[in-house]
Amino acid sequence: MVQKISLTRYLVEKQRADGLIPGQLRLLLEVVARACKGISQAVNKGALGGVLGTAESENVQGEIQKKLDIIANEVLIEANEWGGHLAAMASEEMDSIYVVPNRYPQGEYLLMFDPLDGSSNIDVNVSIGTIFSVLKKPDGSPGVQEADFLQAGTQQVAAGYCIYGPQTTLVLTVGNGVDMFTLDREQGSFVLTQEDIQIPADTKEFAVNMSNMRHWDEPVKRYIDECLAGKDGPRGKDFNMRWIASMVADVHRILMRGGVFMYPWDKREPEKAGKLRLMYEANPMSWLVEQAGGAATNGKQRILDLQPTKLHERVSVMLGSRNEVERLAQYHAEKA
């Protein structure tokens, strides 16, 4: 009989064999996974649990919060604050950092999350997810402040997401490839279902919100025009388009079968670098994609090399199959 490997066993074995996961980080990842199980329960109940609809509040970016945005945020905080593995947390749904209260021991890690990504899909029963990124608190800094979080994506020690779709699936990297776990509801545990995920370097599929086309920058327009021209155009092949409006679901598809995902800077609000957030959306997803052999850029620079200047910083995002992302970067360089 093929033995199922639970997330717990996987983490213990990784800790032993590769030394990639220190004890506190292992605990942290277990706790995040447990929180995701809780969020998955709430998502599944939907209207029966009274969790659909809008809350009467706005987050720091001026977006109306959904009830599930707030519930997911609370589940993650409550699960993580008491274990002694964290110094502080930061979230898309909180204005400033959440320092672990001093009634609990403080650990050495910093956790960032988008508790429920794809919020516009919550009420229409389309896949949504939780994205998370883990950093280490810089050595020797007393207490903990926002500046401790402002580290480039290359400094992440773990990153992943949990997608609440037809299956609940957790995808994780600690810096040696990307592995996937599926929630076994009967056992109540995540089970390893795919190891060493690889994104094909070439693709015939792109994901972008086409309704913004008239606002795009010229290199993005050029890239998509060439895809749309299909077999008779310069690319010599027909392309397919998918846009779920949940970054988690679009990136998951790319990890499973390749493709390119874009939420580029556009002229609607030119002073904003993009729509998506660097610290808890772009960085964790870019690291996962790179770990699976893909690439991620803002057009001009590798996303993981960007030095953040504030917690809720936004960024232009193009990621996925390596050759397509390189082509996009090349089109931007030619324009410059």
Name the residues that contact Mg ion, by CB under 5 A.
114, 117
| Residue number with CB closer to ligand AHM (80 or 119) | 119
Site membership for ligand AHM, residue 63 (CB under 6 A): yes
Site membership for ligand AHM, residue 120 (CB under 6 A): yes
**Of ligand AHM, Mg ion, none, which one sits near residue 246, judging by CB under 5 to 8 A according to partner kind?**
ligand AHM
Q: Which stretch binds ligand AHM (CB under 6 A): 20-28, 224-232, 244-252, 289-297?
A: 244-252
Q: What whole-number distance in Å separates Cα of residue 42 and Cα of residue 105?
A: 29
For the four alpha carbons of 145, 116, 81 and 282, in that order, the dihedral sign comes to: negative
What burial letters (b/e) apply to 1-31, b meaning 16+ CB within 10 Å? eeeebbbeebbeebbeeeeebeebbbbbbbb
To ligand AHM, the closest distance from the beta carbon of 239 in angstroms equals: 19
Among 55, 229, 245, 256, binds ligand AHM (CB under 6 A): 245
To ligand AHM, the closest distance from the beta carbon of 144 in angstroms equals: 25
Binders of ligand AHM among residues 125 to 144 (CB under 6 A) are: none
Query: 254, 249, 247: which is closest to 206 by C-alpha?
Result: 254
Site membership for ligand AHM, residue 123 (CB under 6 A): no
Alpha helices by DSSP H, listed for 81-217, are 146-149
Site membership for ligand AHM, residue 265 (CB under 6 A): no
Among 246, 297, 298, 321, binds ligand AHM (CB under 6 A): 246
165: which 2 tokens? 């779709």
Q: What whole-number distance in Å separates Cα of residue 129 and Cα of residue 137?
A: 26
Separation of CA 211 from chain center: 23
* Residues in contact with ligand AHM by the rule CB under 6 A: 63, 92, 114, 117-120, 209, 245-247, 263
